[in-house]
């Protein structure tokens, strides 16, 4: 991992979002790219010879925003001294999602860390949120930090999927190694499929045991309501980060099919 993109909107959740992005950058040696977008309404002057008043407003706002970002990074680097994280700043007037997508491709971003104030359960991440656009248009892993999630050091990753693609497992392994974290692979199978496919799916991932940098447990779990299954499992096995595969359409359909919603108090890593 070389570049982590962290959009910051200076909301109450922003500091926590930056803490997670900083932790990952520090643990992996990645560069942190901080992005702040804003919008100032355009004001048309009465006479053309006068300068547009929003020009000065843009200059002032961008200067103040950069100072805020620099102060946040200086604070974090001071806390973690002598270790430091290199940061790059970008402030611009644009729609947030459009600028995130553009910056992702321009900078070769490997991971996006996003905060959200409105998402309260797993289902709402994949249904009707702007995060869906970021996931679908960037084709990059996205770490979503819910406002209700308390900050915690990453020491236990729960990866739930119908299967565990090698490409997605590479990021899980990288994070686990960087944080010396335990990993639980939660295999989601319906009861009708478990007997015929469960053993094969588990044995097909024996190569993960070759990585001696972290411990992992593979779990065969059945149930039709994926949200309830994940929530129940996490109550018994607390995790500090939940990973789920967005490339598995069947799994997402099952998440959206759940009748009830369950509070989300854990950061969610959406893998592509």
140 and 158: one domain? no
Question: Does the pLDDT value for residue 237 go beyond 60?
Answer: yes
Burial class (CB in 10 A: 0-12, 13-18, 19+), 208: middle
In a domain, 128, yes or no: yes
CATH number at residue 138: 3.40.50.620
134 and 198: one domain? no
Question: What's the structural domain count of the chain?
Answer: 2
In a domain, 272, yes or no: no
9 and 50: one domain? yes
**Is pTM, for the whole model, over 0.85?**
no
The residue written with tokens 């102060």 in the block is 71
111 and 164: one domain? no
Q: Quickly list DSSP for 56-99.
A: HHHHHHHHHHHHHHHHHHHHHHHHHTT----EEEEEEES-HHHH
178 and 254: one domain? yes
Among candidate residues 151, 167, 183, the one where a domain is terminated = 151
Edge-to-edge order in the sheet of strand 31-38: 87-93, 31-38, 3-7, 111-116, 142-146, 268-271, 241-245, 156-161, 182-189, 216-222
pLDDT, one tens digit per residue, over 1-37 is 999 999 998 988 899 999 999 999 999 999 999 999 9
In a domain, 88, yes or no: yes
4 and 114: one domain? yes
116 and 198: one domain? no
pLDDT on residue 231 = 78
Closest CA to 7 of 125, 133, 99, 141: 99
197 and 140: one domain? no
At 190, is the pLDDT very low, low, confident or very high (cuts 50, 70, 90)?
A: low
Among candidate residues 151, 178, 212, the one where a domain is terminated = 151
Q: pLDDT higher for 108 or 48?
A: 108
The residue written with tokens 């919603």 in the block is 261
In sign, the C-alpha dihedral spanning 262, 265, 266, 272 is: positive
C-alpha 153/C-alpha 155 separation (Å) is: 6
58 and 15: one domain? yes
Averaged pLDDT of the chain: 78
pLDDT, one tens digit per residue, over 51-78 is 555 667 778 888 999 999 999 999 999 9
In a domain, 192, yes or no: yes
C-alpha 89/C-alpha 133 separation (Å) is: 23
Question: Does the pLDDT value for residue 209 go beyond 80?
Answer: no
Please state the rounded mean pLDDT for residues 208-224. Answer: 50
Among candidate residues 103, 122, 151, the one where a domain is terminated = 151
SS3 183: strand
Domain carrying residue 86: 1-151
In a domain, 9, yes or no: yes
C-alpha 135/C-alpha 158 separation (Å) is: 20
């Amino acid at each position: 991992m070389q570049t982590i993109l962290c959009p910051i909107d200076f909301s109450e959740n922003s500091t926590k979002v930056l803490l997670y992005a900083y932790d990952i950058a520090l643990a992996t040696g990645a560069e942190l790219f901080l992005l702040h977008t804003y919008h100032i309404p355009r004001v048309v002057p009465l006479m053309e010879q006068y300068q547009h008043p929003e020009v000065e407003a843009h200059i002032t706002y961008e200067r103040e925003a950069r100072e805020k970002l620099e102060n946040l990074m200086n604070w974090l680097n001071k806390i973690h001294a002598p270790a430091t994280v290199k940061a790059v700043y970008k402030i611009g007037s644009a729609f947030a999602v459009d600028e995130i997508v553009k910056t992702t491709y321009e900078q070769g971003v490997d991971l996006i860390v996003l905060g959200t104030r409105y998402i309260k359960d797993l289902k709402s991440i994949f249904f009707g949120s702007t995060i869906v656009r970021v996931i679908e248009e960037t084709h990059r892993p996205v770490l979503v930090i819910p406002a209700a999630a308390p900050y915690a050091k990453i020491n236990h990753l729960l990866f739930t999927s119908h299967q565990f693609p090698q490409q997605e497992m590479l990021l899980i392994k990288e994070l686990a190694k960087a944080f010396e974290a335990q990993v639980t692979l939660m295999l989601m199978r319906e009861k009708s499929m478990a007997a015929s496919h469960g053993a094969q799916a588990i044995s097909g991932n024996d190569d993960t045991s070759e990585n001696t940098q972290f411990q992992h447990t593979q779990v065969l779990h059945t149930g039709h309501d994926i949200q309830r299954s994940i929530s129940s499992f996490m109550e018994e096995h607390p995790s500090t980060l939940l990973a789920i595969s967005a490339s598995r359409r069947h799994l997402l359909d099952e998440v959206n099919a759940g009748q009830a919603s369950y509070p989300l108090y854990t950061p969610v890593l959406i893998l592509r």
